[in-house]
Amino acid sequence: MTIASEVKKSLASLKGIEADLSSLALRTQDHESKRTLHETMMVVHEVVTDLKKRVGELEREEFQYKGF
Amino acid sequence: MPEWLEVVIRSLLFVVVLFLITKWLGKKQLSELSFFEYVVGITIGSIGAEVITGLERNMFNGIIGIVVFAAIPFLAGLLSLKSKTFRDFIEGRATVFIKDGKIMEENLKKEKYTTDELLELLRKRDVFKVADVEFALLEPTGDLSVMLKKENQPLTPKDVNLTVASVKEPQTVIMDGEILDEPLSTIGRSRNWLKTELEKQGVTIENVFLGQVDSYGELTVDLFDDKLQVPSPQEKPLILSTMKKCQADLELFALGTEAKEAKQMYSKNSEKLQEAINKVTPILRG
């Protein structure tokens, strides 16, 4: 596996976490926990944005692995 | 009318009267918190028994007696809501038995409690050593309230600076294989949602003896068939472990890359993620 695909894998996992946290936050009744979960989701979202950018750069470098 | 029939009729009537009166007086009467409730409880019971079996007496005199006796604690309750002095007089005050870790012998004598009885009361509160007690108080109801010395008190999350996630009360949504709609709508869920959750766990609604939903929307069930194993909810620990894995991955990428800018970006994000993990761990761990 190349680095690009490794990064892509992590990116996919993080996106999954983001979605899971979001759905958990929606289902949670307690306001304090709801807020914490939501804030965590936002942080994960920032990380996802940065990684996406990096994936774009990597794709330019290793062009043969371009995809998704 | 044969005598036995009259006893039956009177008994039924008095059951109704006593039921209504106890309802009217409320929960306080049942717990017999004060002197009044104690006396009224005994007296009403005796009057009832007397009138039911004493056929020569007029039944309605008995009912009047009961109503009067029920009215007194009711009025006393109203008055003691208004006045603290009256309340102290009627319900009595608490007596300090142990203060600063020392037994107050005078107060013990005043309430006519022997040392054995004090020890018994302490044992009922799981205290076997008087030296562990900082403060103890005999309530007007005869219960002993005990405050242990700080080092003997149970450890709480606050003592060890542990942050724990706050929780709301769970709702019971399935009882005896039937869905309860009211608690379900309290947490804003539908029957369909519940059916999907049950399907996820692979159980049928008829087989569920009791089902509860916690404040994170997780359903836990107890089945009629105790041989079946129900999987415990894995969603939250799974999120946490995936987060940890991604954080570790980011660190690896940071080490692996040659590009300076990318290195910085990776390590910044891995730190950010680590902070987020620390913050959310108390919730996801539970």
Mean residue pLDDT of chain A comes to 86
Number of domains in chain A: 1
Q: Does the residue B62 lie in any domain?
A: yes
How close does chain A come to B214, measured CA to CA in Å? 9
**B69 burial via Cβ count (<10 Å: 0-12, 13-18, 19+):** buried
Interface list for chain A against chain B, based on CB atoms closer than 8 Å? 3, 6-7, 9-10, 13-14, 16-17, 20-21, 24, 27-30, 32-33, 36-37, 39-40, 43-44, 46-47, 50-51, 53-54, 57
A13, A36, A50: residue with CB nearest B242: A13
B240-262: per-residue pLDDT in tens? 999 999 999 999 989 888 888 88
Residues B85 and B99 in one domain: no
For residue range B188-213, list pLDDT tens digits in order. Answer: 888 999 999 899 888 888 889 999 99
Report if residue B181 sits inside a domain: yes
Checking if the pLDDT of B27 tops 80, the result is no
Q: Can you give the residue range of the structural domain that contains B190? A: 171-223
Number of domains in chain B: 4
Residues B196 and B241 in one domain: no
Q: What global pTM score does this model have?
A: 0.68
Percent of chain B clearing pLDDT 90 (strictly above):
35
Residue, of B228 and B179, whose pLDDT is higher: B179
B32 has pLDDT over 70: no
Task: List the CATH number of the domain containing B206.
Answer: 3.30.240.20
pLDDT score, position B117: 92
- The predicted pLDDT at position B55 comes to 75
| Residue B171, strand partner residues | B213
Examine the domain organization and report whether B20 and B55 are in the same domain: yes
Please indicate, yes or no, whether residues B18 and B68 belong to a single structural domain of this protein. yes
A28 lies in which domain range? 3-65
Give the DSSP H or E segment for B98.
Answer: strand B95-99
Task: Indicate the pLDDT class of residue B48, thresholds 50, 70 and 90.
Answer: confident
Q: Determine the residue among B280, B281, B285 to mutate to test chain A binding: the one whose Cβ has the most chain A Cβ atoms within 10 Å.
A: B280
Q: How confident is the model at residue B33 (pLDDT cuts 50, 70, 90)?
A: low
- B7 part of a folded domain: yes
Is 0.90 exceeded by the ipTM?
A: no
Both B23 and B85 in a single domain?
yes
In a domain, B158, yes or no: no
Which among A10, A36, A53 is the nearest to B246, CB-wise? A10
Residue B229 domain-assigned (yes or no): no
Give the mean model confidence (pLDDT) for residues B112-133.
93
Reported for A52-55, long-range contacts at CB under 8 A and 24+ positions apart, including other chains, are: A52/A11, A53/B265, A54/A7, A54/B262, A54/B265, A54/B266, A55/A4, A55/A7, A55/A8, A55/A11
Residue B161, in any domain of the structure: no
pLDDT of residue B168: 84
d(CA B136, CA A42): 51
